[in-house]
């Protein structure tokens, strides 16, 4: 799932500093590029070289690179995009399936949809229970932070990914509280207004933990993506929303009937938007945006669920037509 082409000189300059500093530290510390990127981000945020035992040549090189950087002159979005490019470079060729970054275009689309569904709010709480590198959550936060006070929470089981997300949030001056743990274990996070998540797809190996869920499997391991949906709804306030990236075949598995029954009891399905296949490496990896509203006494189901197959974002006329269709749906249903 690709990134984007550099088109902003500020982003390019910042990416170059991230990249060159990380390459220097990768050689010095004998670590991976992504681990070196974490160290680089920490150096930049703390405004000093934190690593000990570096060669004099490397120290001078890092000092020269950092001296050219004035982080406060960059917007949060410029920082996010430059940092994202560095992460994509570090992941190239070595990325495991669970380390894929949510594409930039999807994050921006979800941010647009969130604004359409919940509007501007002075106070907002948000949770990403599988935050990964933090790109999706950061995109949403950068959309809202100018006009809202946000309480942001993120969970990630992978140590390298949660460190990348934490450093990225610091660099973007985002106030996110991170939890390094299995998100399907008990979470000590109060219910939030909004859950966003690029659902991890596959089987969940901890059968004992899965047994605590209504969506546990009737045989064998439970689907992790089913359990994440249930966990997300548990941690959403009544009337709150969930914006989830789901596999296109979510309702075609042998556990689909159980999932449909659970959702009928707990939530209103607002929209299922199939994303363009061109965004993904192959058709099997294709996903849709799944929008839920948790039931409450004050909420009711939409007159009709918004169903759409989104066109390639490069096809302007088709995109305009789809946006018009969505605007009409919002007018009729919200």
| Summary mean pLDDT of the chain | 90
Determine how β-strand 236-247 pairs with β-strand 287-294: antiparallel
Residue 79 has pLDDT above 80, yes or no: yes
**Ramachandran region, residue 173 (left: φ > 0; alpha: ψ -120 to 50; beta: rest):** left
pLDDT tens per residue, range 301-318: 999 999 999 888 778 888
Handedness of CA 55, 36, 95, 216 (dihedral sign): positive
Hey, what domains does the chain have and what are their CATH numbers? Answer: 9-91 (1.10.150.470), 99-333 (3.40.50.150)
Does residue 95 surpass a pLDDT of 60?
Answer: no
| Mean pLDDT computed over 123-130 | 96
* CA–CA separation, 141 and 316 (whole Å): 27
257 conformational bin, left if phi > 0, alpha if psi -120 to 50, beta if neither: alpha
Q: Is the pLDDT of residue 4 over 60?
A: no
Predicted local distance difference test score (pLDDT) of residue 6: 46
pLDDT digits (tens, 9 = 90+) for 149-195: 899 999 999 999 999 999 999 999 999 999 999 999 999 999 999 99
Q: What are phi and psi of 333, to 5 degrees?
A: -120, -20
- Spatial CA neighbour of 210 closest among 234, 227, 232, 197: 227
Residue with tokens 């088709």: 318
Position 332 scores a pLDDT of 86
Query: Tens of pLDDT along 218-271?
Result: 888 999 999 999 999 999 999 999 999 999 989 988 889 999 999 999 999 999
Separation between Cα atoms, residue 204 and residue 206, nearest integer Å: 6
The whole-number average pLDDT for the span 98-112 is 80
Task: Quote the pLDDT of residue 278.
Answer: 81
Contact (CB, 8 A) for 244 and 263:
no
**Tokens representing residue 288 in the block:** 């849709």
Q: Over 60: is that where the pLDDT of 110 sits?
A: yes
What's the mean pLDDT in 203-231?
A: 94
Would the CA dihedral through 137, 140, 145, 146 be positive or negative?
A: positive
Given a cut of 70, whether residue 54 has pLDDT beyond it is: yes
Residue 102: its pLDDT value, please? 79
SS3 288: strand
Average pLDDT over residues 38-54: 95
- Given this model, what pLDDT does residue 5 score? 44
**Residue 96: band (very low, low, confident or very high) from pLDDT cuts 50, 70, 90:** low
Q: Give the pLDDT score at 20.
A: 95
Task: Tell me which residue has tokens 């209504």.
Answer: 214
Please state the pTM of the whole predicted model: 0.92
Burial class from Cβ neighbours inside 10 Å (0-12, 13-18, 19+) for residue 176 reads buried
């Amino acid at each position: 799932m690709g990134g984007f082409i550099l088109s902003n000189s500020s982003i390019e300059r910042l990416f170059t500093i991230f990249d060159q500093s990380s390459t220097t530290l990768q050689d010095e510390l004998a670590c991976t590029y992504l681990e070196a990127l974490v160290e680089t981000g920490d150096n930049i945020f703390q405004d000093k070289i934190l690593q000990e035992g570096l060669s004099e040549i490397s120290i001078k090189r890092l000092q020269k690179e950092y001296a050219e950087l004035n982080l406060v002159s960059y917007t949060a979005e410029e920082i996010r995009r430059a940092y994202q490019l560095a992460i994509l470079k570090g992941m190239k060729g070595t990325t495991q399936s669970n380390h894929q970054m949510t594409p930039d275009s999807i994050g921006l689309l979800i941010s647009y949809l969130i604004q359409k569904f919940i509007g501007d709010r002075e106070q907002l709480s948000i949770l990403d229970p599988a935050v990964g590198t933090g790109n999706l959550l950061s995109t949403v936060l950068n959309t809202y932070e100018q006009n809202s006070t946000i309480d942001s929470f993120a969970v990630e089981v992978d140590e390298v990914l949660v460190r990348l997300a934490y450093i990225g949030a610091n660099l973007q001056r985002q106030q996110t509280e991170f939890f390094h743990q299995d998100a399907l274990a008990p979470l000590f996070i109060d219910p939030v207004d909004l859950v966003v998540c690029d659902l991890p797809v596959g089987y969940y190996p901890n059968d004992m933990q899965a047994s605590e869920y209504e969506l546990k499997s009737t045989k064998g391991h439970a689907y992790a993506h089913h359990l994440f949906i249930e966990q997300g709804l548990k941690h959403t306030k009544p009337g709150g929303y969930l914006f989830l990236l789901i596999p296109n075949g979510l309702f075609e598995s042998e556990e689909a009937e159980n999932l449909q029954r659970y959702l009928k009891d707990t939530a209103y399905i607002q929209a299922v938007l199939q994303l363009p296949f061109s965004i993904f490496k192959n058709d099997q990896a294709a996903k849709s945006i799944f929008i839920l509203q948790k039931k409450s006494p004050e909420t009711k189901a939409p007159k009709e669920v918004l169903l759409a197959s989104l066109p390639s974002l490069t096809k302007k006329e088709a995109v305009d037509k789809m946006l018009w269709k969505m605007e009409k749906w919002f007018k009729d249903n919200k």
